[in-house]
Structure 1
Amino acid sequence: MCKCAPEEVIHCNRAGLRALPGEIAASTVSLNLSNNYLRILTTNTFRNLTFLHSLWLDGNNLTFLSPGTFHALSKLRELDLSRNSRLTYLHANTFRGLLNLISLDLSHCNIFEIHPLLFSHLPSLERLNLASNNMRYVPQAFSNLSSLTRLSLESNHIEAIGRDSLKDLESLYDLNLRKNRIWIIQNGAFTRLLRLGVLNLGHNFIADLPNQLFNGLIQLKTMHLEANRITDVDCTFRLLLNLRNLYLNNNQISSISDSAFSYLNKLHFLHLSKNNLSSLPLRLFVELPKLKHVFLSHNPWKCDCKMLWFLRWTAMFRGALEGLDCAFPSHHNTTALGGPQPGDPMDCTAPPELESKDTCGAAGISMAPGPLAPTSKVFLLAAICHTWYSARRWDSSAALL
């Protein structure tokens, strides 16, 4: 029931197998055993397949892998064990012999604990997928994975990231911790991840962002913190000099420090939709020369004098600004047409000096733009209408994000 390709590739996908076929050529390079009924693999199962480069065992009923099951597969580069829901525990010597393995997929199993020495036989491993298991803490099994560049722990039950949890992963580029229960991250947890380019902490329970939390991430390009419980943003991101994409949407942010994004000279994508923001501090976007996309929809914006500076900034901004839904008093309240009311933008002639919430110290203070010249009410009303119209036009597209 298996199909053989001319280049020593055998496909036994969905073949109803309960054991390995007896006559598989020793020269086989790629073997697909996905979606069958295999339960137990022993040390003899693959002993003659010494030329294997790729082995797929995903979607079976594996319950136990004998220590040394793969010991003869020294040339194996890719191993997929995902979607074996009965696989709960792996012996320390399970992967002994896989000296050239590059990719290992253990996702969608029921692994709740990993032996500290499980990966000690995998010096060449670059990609490790442990997503959708039952782990409640970061395994202490990463100490020998000096070549690892991609690690996924998505959709587990992890609650804390300790100071030493990731300390040995100095080659890591992509770390996915999305959809866990993380609410504690010790300072120094990411200090040694000097090559990390993508960090996904979205859909967790993170509420606080200490100022030193992301120290060491000097090469980080993309940060996901969406769908957490963050209420304030202070100086947490100021040392992420290579950051390009920042996702802070779907939080509870009501306050942002005026130099929260200082020194982020390469930031070009900022997502702040679905928060509790009513206004933005005066200096927030001043030092973001590469900013191209800003998403602000579904916030309770209050467009009074505190946001007058924002009208001026949008006139100079050359990127895409989406989702600013303002409720201007003079637009919705017909009684205001007789004259400007307190707080009405039409009554502002210059931006107010906003109280700084920055606690970064003198080194973090960014220069504020010069005072705006007195603006006629006619010109300001036109700017307000233009901004309101643009926000309405973009709001439908922003809702799709």
Structure 2
Amino acid sequence: MVTKIIFTLATLLTYTNSEYIPPGPVYPCPNDSKTTLLYPCVCEKGSDTGLYIRCENTGLAVLSVGLGNIAGLGLPVERLLLKELKISNLFGPLFHRSTIRVLQIEDTPIRSIDQYAFAGVNRTLQELYMINTEIDVFPKDAFMILGNLSVLSIDGHKMTKLAKDIFAGSEVVGKLERLHLSNGLISDIPPEAFQVLKKLKKLDLHGNKLVTLKRNQFKGLRDTELLDLSHNSITKLDGSHIGDLTKLGWCNASHNQIGEIPRGMFARNTVIKVVHLDHNKIKKLDTNSFRGMRFLRRLYLQDNLISDIGRGTFSAVTRIGTVDLARNQIKKVDFQMFQQVKYAEIINLAENNITIIETQAFTDLYQAVVNISHNALSTIETGAFVNCNNMTLLDFSHNQLSMISPRAFDENSYAYELQVSHNEFRNFSQIPIQNMTGIQILNVSYNQIESIPKLAFPKLYELHTVDMSHNNLSEIFNAVFQNLFSIRFLNISYNSLELIKPATFGTIPTVLELNLSHNRLREISRGSLAKLVSCRLIDISYNVLEKLFQIPISLGELNVAHNNISSIKPNTWPTMNALLRLNLSDNLLTDSLQSDSFSSLLTLQALDLSANGLTKPPWEALSTLTSLQYLYLQ
């Protein structure tokens, strides 16, 4: 009976401690006893579809033995990587017995490939990648039998031209969907070269030496959706070159020498959605530039020489989402330039020579990012922004603005974030935020603002961050921030404030962080900050204060470093358990601290008294700090 009970308990414990162990791959790497058979190759990992094999720095004869042994074990290869081989001519029965799905040849000086080099794997090979080789003639005979190939990539080669019959009679045309002939020396491609590739989806010719495209250059490629001609020296691109690509949805012709966008350039490519024409020599745009491109969503024209944009240029692309015109030579944002682009998400006009934004330049935008930074903007006319609701970001930074017309924005136009830093504003009232009821972030730093006048802020219920740092502020009108019902972060550092009066901030129950550092503050009225009942951090470092002030009861961190405080009087602090960190470094406290200097700070954890001229540890003052964990006295 006892034996039976013990056996039952042992069985239960076995079931209790058991855990699920997932099965390994269907084709695991060979065990240690068989790994020598793979030499000079190694198995990186197994998978349910085959092994991942890598062979490096070897010759053709030794490689043939290793691949033959893998085939002899009956193991399929999902990916075979041949790297830095000592082979200039790929020939012989290297792959005859192998089952390989993906073949990748890298950094190998192959110049030619024998007609029957891929015999055997032609039944299974689906992807072939040749990277950084010495191939100077397209190996059409070797590829002819690859009837299952869907991806052919020759990246980094020495080919200077392609023959018109490179795929004539080839079995590869039946399934090839992606063709990459990139980073080479190709300067001439006959129009017939690709015409038999009826199922081709992507053609990549970037990084070659193409200068002139021929008429009907891509004829026959009616299913091609992606075309990459970037990083060539193409001087002209028009409808006669790419008109046969009727399903083209993405075209990259960036980093070329294209000088213009001719009439109807993409007129026959009616479903095109993304066009990259950046880093070219384009000088102007007009109403015919994008005609027929009604589905266009992304247009990249940055880093050109564009100085003239005709009225109504973008009227044909009403679905446009991105217009990037950065780093051109645009001098103004013209009347109705962006009138019919109501689906725009990003309009980038940064780093141009824009001096003026004219009336109705932007209309009917919603949640768009408008970047006009780093220009020479000095004038924004009345009605420049009409019905532009909730712009995600409106960036006017790094310009020459000294004022903005009070009616530059109509009653429906406002930005989630308004960025006007690095301008020449002197008066805060010259920044029109009266109608911006939905603004949440305002940055006016790095200007020359001298005062914040009465009624500078209307009643704003969503504004939570205001940055006024790096100005010349010397005066803040009483209770000017009390209309900001959601203010959380207020930065007034690096200014010229000398006095904080009792009513300067008034009652602001929502502010969490207040930064008044790097000013000239010599006095803060005792109760001026006490009504900031939710404040967690106050930074008043780098001023000339001689005495402390009453702090909010909920304050968690106070930084008054680099001031002239010489003593801490009794009852300076209210009895509080919120303050955790106090920085009094670089003041003039010397040995003046007494037993009641910190007695009301019940939960203080970190205290910095460094650089105060102390000659002995202030034991009496520290004796009441039962929660102190970090003390700095250097």
TM tier, shorter chain?
A: 0.7 to 0.9
Residue 14 of structure 1: which of 169, 183, 187 is its match? 183
Question: In the alignment, does 2:455 pair up with 1:262?
Answer: no
SS in 2 for 1:386: strand
* Distance of 2:361 and 2:214 partners within structure 1: 39
- Are 2:359 and 2:382, in contact at CA under 8 Å, matched by a contact in 1? no
Q: Which residue of 2 aligns with 1:106?
A: 277
Residue 302 of structure 1: which of 484, 497, 501 is its match? 497
SS in 2 for 1:151: strand
- Structure 1, 225-234 or 128-137: larger mean CA deviation: 225-234
- Are 1:26 and 1:50, in contact at CA under 8 Å, matched by a contact in 2? yes
Once the two structures are TM-superposed, the CA of residue 388 in structure 1 deviates from its matched residue by 4.0
Q: Which residue of 2 aligns with 1:77?
A: 249
Question: In the alignment, does 2:512 pair up with 1:318?
Answer: yes
Once the two structures are TM-superposed, the CA of residue 305 in structure 1 deviates from its matched residue by 3.6
Question: In the alignment, does 2:4 pair up with 1:4?
Answer: no
Deviations 1:62-91 (A, max 9, x none): 11124432212221111111111x222121
- Are 1:75 and 1:100, in contact at CA under 8 Å, matched by a contact in 2? yes
Q: Which residue of 2 aligns with 1:236?
A: 432
- Structure 1, 4-13 or 56-65: larger mean CA deviation: 4-13
Question: In the alignment, does 2:507 pair up with 1:345?
Answer: no
Residue 213 of structure 2: which of 10, 20, 41 is its match? 41
Once the two structures are TM-superposed, the CA of residue 255 in structure 1 deviates from its matched residue by 4.8
Q: Which residue of 2 aligns with 1:122?
A: 293
State the number of aligned residues.
349
* Distance of 1:291 and 1:325 partners within structure 2: 22
Once the two structures are TM-superposed, the CA of residue 94 in structure 1 deviates from its matched residue by 1.6
* Distance of 1:288 and 1:60 partners within structure 2: 55
- Are 1:87 and 1:110, in contact at CA under 8 Å, matched by a contact in 2? yes
Q: Which residue of 1 aligns with 2:202?
A: 30
User: Among the aligned pairs, what percent are the same residue?
Assistant: 21
* Distance of 2:275 and 2:369 partners within structure 1: 20
Once the two structures are TM-superposed, the CA of residue 114 in structure 1 deviates from its matched residue by 2.0
- Are 1:44 and 1:69, in contact at CA under 8 Å, matched by a contact in 2? yes
* Distance of 1:349 and 1:271 partners within structure 2: 24
Once the two structures are TM-superposed, the CA of residue 389 in structure 1 deviates from its matched residue by 4.5
SS in 1 for 2:179: strand
Residue 549 of structure 2: which of 358, 376, 380 is its match? 380
Q: Which residue of 2 aligns with 1:53?
A: 225
Question: In the alignment, does 2:286 pair up with 1:91?
Answer: no
Deviations 1:93-150 (A, max 9, x none): 2212111111111112121112420101201011111111112243432111111121
* Distance of 1:47 and 1:129 partners within structure 2: 26
Q: Which residue of 2 aligns with 1:357?
A: none
Structure (1 or 2) with the larger CA radius of gyration = 2
* Distance of 2:516 and 2:348 partners within structure 1: 28
- Are 1:146 and 1:169, in contact at CA under 8 Å, matched by a contact in 2? yes
- Summarize the alignment of residues 197-216 of structure 1 with structure 2, pairs less than 5 Å apart: 197-207=368-378, 212-216=383-387
- Are 2:488 and 2:510, in contact at CA under 8 Å, matched by a contact in 1? no
Q: Which residue of 2 aligns with 1:146?
A: 318
Matched AA of 1:166: F
Higher strand share: 2
* Distance of 1:349 and 1:293 partners within structure 2: 20
Deviations 1:281-306 (A, max 9, x none): 44554343444444545x32313145
- Structure 1, 23-32 or 128-137: larger mean CA deviation: 23-32
**Structure 1: tracts of 5 or more residues without a match:** 330-343, 352-368, 370-376, 394-401
Q: TM-score, length-normalised on structure 1?
A: 0.74
- Are 1:213 and 1:236, in contact at CA under 8 Å, matched by a contact in 2? no
Once the two structures are TM-superposed, the CA of residue 186 in structure 1 deviates from its matched residue by 2.1
- Are 2:480 and 2:505, in contact at CA under 8 Å, matched by a contact in 1? no
* Distance of 1:264 and 1:12 partners within structure 2: 58
- Are 1:221 and 1:242, in contact at CA under 8 Å, matched by a contact in 2? no
Q: Which residue of 2 aligns with 1:173?
A: 345
Once the two structures are TM-superposed, the CA of residue 165 in structure 1 deviates from its matched residue by 1.7
Counterparts in 2 of 1:350 and 1:4: CA distance versus 1, 3 Å:
closer
Matched AA of 1:63: T
- Are 2:327 and 2:350, in contact at CA under 8 Å, matched by a contact in 1? yes
Counterparts in 2 of 1:264 and 1:311: CA distance versus 1, 3 Å:
closer
Q: Higher RCO, 1 or 2 (CA under 8 Å, sep at least 6)?
A: 1
Counterparts in 2 of 1:308 and 1:209: CA distance versus 1, 3 Å:
farther
- Structure 1, 146-155 or 1-10: larger mean CA deviation: 1-10
- Are 1:114 and 1:139, in contact at CA under 8 Å, matched by a contact in 2? yes
SS in 2 for 1:309: coil
Once the two structures are TM-superposed, the CA of residue 188 in structure 1 deviates from its matched residue by 2.7
- Are 1:130 and 1:152, in contact at CA under 8 Å, matched by a contact in 2? yes
- Structure 1, 90-99 or 277-286: larger mean CA deviation: 277-286
Counterparts in 2 of 1:56 and 1:210: CA distance versus 1, 3 Å:
same
Once the two structures are TM-superposed, the CA of residue 212 in structure 1 deviates from its matched residue by 5.0
Matched AA of 1:17: I
RMSD over aligned CA atoms reads 3.6
